Amino acid sequence: MEIADRIKELAQEYRDETAENLSKLVKIRSLSREEEEVQLELKRQMETVGFDELKTDGLGNVIGRMGNGKKILAIDAHMDTVNVGNPDNWEFDPFSGEIKNGHVLGRGSVDQKGGAASFVTGAKILKELGFDRDLTVYFVGSVMEEDCDGLCWKYIIEEDKIKPDIVICTEPTSCNICRGHRGRMEIEVVFRGISAHGSAPERGKNAIYMASEACLDIKDLNERLKRDAFLGKGSATITEFISNSPSLCAVADYAKIHVDRRLTWGETKESAVAQIEELLKNGDAEVRVLEYEESAYTGLKYGMEKYYPTWKLPTHHVAVKTGVDVYKSLFGKAPKVDKWTFSTNAVTIRGMYGIPTIGFGPGDETLAHAPNEKVPIEDLLKASAFFALYAYRI
């Protein structure tokens, strides 16, 4: 029997188990930096598969290794989720993990514990088939993605010293293939004015006016940002405006704006900062890129600059071509090869460290961070088969 057919058969056989594993993961609340319990559950599920090595690293990522080959493939799923938002918008309990009408229900089912449950089954299939290719496969349940995408992989590459040749990021793609997304960065601009009595504003310099002019300039800048045929347009918007003055009867001497900047192909931290500095060249303002630094659930403090580089792989790259080939073998037709709208751990994996990355994951990305999140069990089955066959074909 063809290996692809055998893998499909096993994915079908383990279908209910995959759904039940996901249900267990969904039942455990796991906001960023609070992944300890869900990590224990994922590790328990991975233990039943039997990896050559299974550990939790200093940042709290759970990492299972299969094989010992020179070439390294990693499959990543972040274990943290965002909060539920207004509970009234949900038609079911976000933490029930209920399995109903061919779906697993709840927060994180799509974004993206479904990826983790599917890779556990993918690993189980490889084990069952006695996988012995000259390849190392790491299965990674990662932390803190919703807080600082890519930070976990900065740790894995720099501290765990694991540097894969190819990574599959299992964020939701509705079981299509993704080969890129826009990058992003968080910029703050601080304006310093001079206060004066509110009865004589001409004596002072109002920081609110300075910031307001800059806001309108940034609105215009957004309109003329460059566009990439595949990734779309870069964007800039103001997400916060803070000001201060000695009293409500005084000219404001301080204002601060927060800019959410999405970066398309060819836009970098340097180019984005320079554009804003150019707008401010006649004013007294300071532009800075924010830093992230927080403690993981393990207690370890770790951080990085809030610059998340843009990435894309060409369609003819071997990582993409292998994905297309695996898809055709399993499902008998060509996949859609697309991009994500949101950002993922690939910002560091590919954007910072240059490691070829593709996306393939269960669930519809429009349900990520939304109420009534649920994932089709059929998608979990497809993803588990895809991960297993990818390990054979790469």
Q: Which is nearer to Zn ion, 343 or 384 (CB)?
A: 343
Q: Please state the closest distance from residue 27 (CB atom) to Zn ion, in A.
A: 18
Write phi, then psi, for 20 (nearest 5 degrees).
-65, -40
**Closest CB to Zn ion among 111 and 373?**
111
Q: From residue 178, how far is each of 198, 272, 341, 347, 390 by CA, in Å?
A: 56, 25, 10, 13, 15
Which residue, among 358, 364, 365, has the nearest Cα to 390 in the 3D structure?
358
Q: Binding to Zn ion (CB under 5 A): which residues in 148-167?
A: none
Q: What is the secondary structure of 125-176 as a DSSP string?
A: HHHHTT--SSEEEEEEEE--TTTSTTHHHHHHHHTS----SEEEE-S--TT-
Judged by CB under 5 A, the residue of 76, 80, 111, 228 near Zn ion is 111
CB of 78 to Zn ion, least distance (A): 6
CB under 8 Å, gap of 24 or more: what pairs does 87-95 form?
89/371, 89/372, 90/371, 90/372, 91/371, 91/372, 92/372, 94/371, 94/373, 95/26, 95/27, 95/28, 95/29
Considering the complex, state which of residue 111 and residue 379 has its C-beta at the smaller distance from Zn ion: 111
Residue of this chain nearest to Zn ion (CB atom): 111
Q: Which residues carry out catalysis?
A: 80, 145
Binding string to Zn ion for residues 171 to 210, with x set by CB under 5 A, is what? x---------------------------------------
Minimum distance, C-beta of residue 97 to Zn ion, in the bound complex (Å)? 18
Q: Among 280, 295, 308, 138, which Cα is nearest to 221's? A: 280
What's the closest the beta carbon of residue 246 comes to Zn ion, in angstroms? Answer: 44
Cβ closest to Zn ion, residue 146 vs residue 253 = 146
- How far apart CA 281 and CA 259 sit, in angstroms, is 17
Closest distance between Zn ion and the C-beta of residue 112, in Å? Answer: 5
Is the bond into 112 cis (omega within 30 degrees of 0)? yes
> Distance between CA 361 and CA 167 in Å, rounded?
13
Alpha helices in 225-370 (DSSP H): 269-279, 318-331, 346-349
Q: Residue 21 — φ and ψ, nearest 5°?
A: -60, -45
Residue 62 sits at φ, ψ, to 5 deg, of -100, 130
**By the rule CB under 5 A, 142 interacts with Zn ion:** no
Least distance to Zn ion, CB of residue 80, Å: 8
Closest CA to 99 of 364, 366, 384, 378: 378
Nearer to Zn ion, 193 or 362 (CB): 362
Total residues contacting Zn ion by CB under 5 A comes to: 3
Q: How far is the CB of 145 from Zn ion (least distance, A)?
A: 6
Question: Which of 30/195 has CB closer to Zn ion?
Answer: 30
Using the contact rule CB under 5 A, the part of the chain among 108-116, 120-128, 256-264, 382-390 near Zn ion is 108-116
Cα-based angle 351, 355, 356 (whole degrees, multiple of 5): 100
Q: Which is nearer to Zn ion, 150 or 193 (CB)?
A: 150
Does 112 engage in binding with Zn ion (CB under 5 A)? yes
User: Using CB under 5 A, which of the segments 112-120, 217-225, 233-241, 329-337 binds Zn ion?
Assistant: 112-120
- Specify the 3-state DSSP secondary structure of 2: coil
Distance CA 372, CA 23 (A): 15
The one-letter amino acid at 392: Y
Residues in contact with Zn ion by CB under 5 A are 111-112, 171
